[in-house]
Amino acid sequence: MTFSEVKMNNIHLLFSYSIIGDYMKIIDVSDKYTYKNSHINGSINIPYDELINNYRKYLNKNELYYLYCKSGKLSKRAAIVLSSIGYNVLTIEK
């Protein structure tokens, strides 16, 4: 299984329709400080190490998750790991 990327413009469009939070599970894998300073409304913060070390606690293989971070590097790394073990993840790129 591989992961795909979603453009940030599409996320803003979905947000305008109030889809984020109700149907989309967006996870910011940044550290807590970075998340506090800037994040997508409706997203939740699960720092990269916490998510990778405790993915069973946070994720369900029957759900779709959108991962992102400021640079995109951690979210891509997380997506590769999680998709390789059967989770449905997409990354959000700017």
Q: State residue 37's pLDDT score.
A: 94
- Say if residues 2 and 88 touch (Cβ distance below 8 Å): no
Q: Which domains does the chain have, with CATH numbers?
A: 4-93 (3.40.250.10)
Report residue 2's pLDDT band, with 50, 70 and 90 as the boundaries.
Answer: very low
- pLDDT at 18 (0 to 100): 46
Closest CA to 89 of 19, 27, 12, 18: 27
Q: How far apart are CA 11 and CA 51, in angstroms?
A: 22
Tens of pLDDT, residues 29-68:
999 999 999 998 889 999 999 999 999 999 999 999 999 9
Q: What is the predicted pLDDT for the residue at 41?
A: 83
Question: pLDDT tens digits for 72-89?
Answer: 999 999 999 999 999 999
Token reading at 22: 């109700």
The residues near 38 (Cβ < 8 Å, ≥ 6 apart) are 70
Contacts within 8 Å (CB) and 24+ apart, 76-79:
76/3, 77/48, 78/29, 78/48, 78/51, 78/52, 79/3
pLDDT score, position 56: 97
Single pTM value for the model: 0.79
